[in-house]
Amino acid sequence: MHISSPISRRWFAGVVLSAMSAVAMAQAAKPHVVVLATGGTIAGAGASAANSATYAAAKVPVDKLLAGLPELSSVAKVSGEQVFQIASESFTNEHLLKLGQRVSALSKQADVDGIVITHGTDTLEETAYFLNLVVHTNKPIVVVGSMRPGTALSADGALNLYDAVSVAASKDATGKGVLVTMNDEIQSGRDVSKTINIKTEAFKSQWGPLGMVVEGKNYWFRAPVKRHTMNSEFNIDDIKTLPAVDIVYGYGNMNTTAINAYGKAGVKALVHAGTGNGSVAAQAVDSLKALRAEGVQIVRSARVPDGFVLRNAEQPDDKYDWVVAHDLRPQKARILAMVALTKTNDSKELQRIFWEY
């Protein structure tokens, strides 16, 4: 198109500038979501598209993850930070603290509306629960991963990430605690667990999802009732270290080698992942009682995937001064025990905390 007169040229330039300004204003009006990348399968790569289960995790940086999903720009103004680049089985307490501190700092920024954490699936549920306990904000925090690397046929990471950003940008996700979006479901970070290692529908809660996210729209069906985020008595801003808490597994013909070793190592609490209703083998009871007498907190949990541990049912918890984990699986009971011990070492207070969180 040829524009000859100066007036026409000025008019055309004005139209172009107005259009560009409108686009910029529209983008600025969108919620700002920060994606904190930590590695995992969602950042993984396989040798070929046929490799859905054999691949290297934590290879793709956050800028490439976001650049590969241009549809995000229609949902929110998205920026990314590479916090870690590791497989999540290698997450340590130090990683939890650093990530929690960064999430807390971002949540205080007026120009941040929501936060997404990309994470490996192996310990995703533990990180989500930790953040649920210690970050004081009503802003949406969403943890997301994938079961297949982005290089695989039918990779699930792109849609999971799109859903996570969409949920984090949603006003109706406010105040619901830390969420996990996987396979179109919106799960509570407290309740959800990885239940299978090779299917995309890997993350489930025995109490069901909070809702679904379909084509960028949230559909809610229930709300969390346990204390979390803004209603938590724990605050990452006040936590500098986490005490040593470990897990010992119950099984047939169990011996006390691990219990004794953890005691000598100086644990502050020991989570017993018992059979059935958190049962403890007869030959292990005295060793656990001895640790409790030395000041180590004993948390009785269950290795079964669903249900909850009843106090004073399989063991006289009142008599032994033990704590029961309620419906928390052993790995989440460990997270809560660590956080709770930053406030108290009183067993009755710890039991209250396990009921409330």
Binding site for substrate: residue ranges? 88, 121-122
d(CA 308, CA 150): 37
- For residue 233, the 8-state DSSP code is S
Determine the residue type at 70. Answer: P
Find the catalytic residue in 38, 121, 127, 200: 121
Determine the residue type at 155. Answer: A
d(CA 89, CA 84): 13
114: helix, strand or coil: strand
Q: First-to-last CA distance in the chain?
A: 66
Q: What are phi and psi of 112, to 5 degrees?
A: -115, 125
Phi-psi region of 295 (alpha: psi -120 to 50; beta: other; left: phi over 0): left
d(CA 302, CA 63): 41
d(CA 157, CA 144): 9
Catalytic annotation present for 123: no
Spacing of C-alpha 303 from chain mean position: 20
209, 226 Cβ separation under 8 angstroms? no
Residue with tokens 């970070």: 189
Annotated binding site, which residues? 88, 121-122
Q: What is the DSSP string of 81-129?
A: EEEEEE-GGG--HHHHHHHHHHHHHHHT-TT--EEEEE--SSSHHHHHH
137, 236 Cβ separation under 8 angstroms? no
d(CA 220, CA 309): 28
Q: What are phi and psi of 331, to 5 degrees?
A: -65, -30
Residue 287 burial (CB count, 10 A): 20
104 closest CA partner among 139, 143, 145, 66: 139
Catalytic annotation present for 229: no
Which residues are the active-site residues?
A: 41, 121
